[in-house]
Amino acid sequence: MSTKPSRELETFPNPKPERDYEILLDAPEFTCLCPKTGQPDYATLHVAYVPDEKCVELKSLKLYLWSFRDEGHFHEDVTNRILDDLVAAVAPRHMTIEAEFYVRGGITTTIVATHEP
């Protein structure tokens, strides 16, 4: 597996598909750019999902999150985009993403989006 930023999310087979269980991933190192000003934004992402046939491979998730580093994205947009990409990759039974963005203009923004098939 490469160590370059990549939009490819790799998966591995869920070792226990006969049970509904939850996987929680906390990634405090997300950064992208503000599409208006070009200045960097920072967020902590929390992903929680119930796997069906596939689980997301951790290193590919790291490289995937890294791939946003030089792109401009609005908070609301990028959170839903990541949810869509993860849903497309692992087809979970349930998935929630919570993105806590760092304070801008004295206001802290958190976006919470959920996918239920």
Residue 3 per-residue DSSP state: -
- Candidates 7, 35, 40, 53; binder of a copy of itself (CB under 8 A) is 40
Q: How far is the CB of 18 from a copy of itself (least distance, A)?
A: 10
Q: Are 13 and 54 in contact (CB under 8 A)?
A: yes
Interatomic CA distance for residues 80 and 41, integer angstroms: 16
Shortest spacing between CB 71 and a copy of itself, in angstroms: 13
Grouping H, G, I as helix, E, B as strand and the rest as coil, residue 63 is helix
Q: Does 16 bind a copy of itself (CB under 8 A)?
A: yes
Quick one: which of 14, 49, 93, 95 contacts a copy of itself (CB under 8 A)?
A: 14
Q: Are 87 and 73 in contact (CB under 8 A)?
A: no
From the centroid of its chain, how far is CA 80? 9
Q: Interface residues with a copy of itself (CB under 8 A)?
A: 3-4, 12, 14-16, 19-29, 31, 37-40, 42, 51, 55, 58-59, 61-62, 66, 69, 74, 76-77, 79-80, 102-115
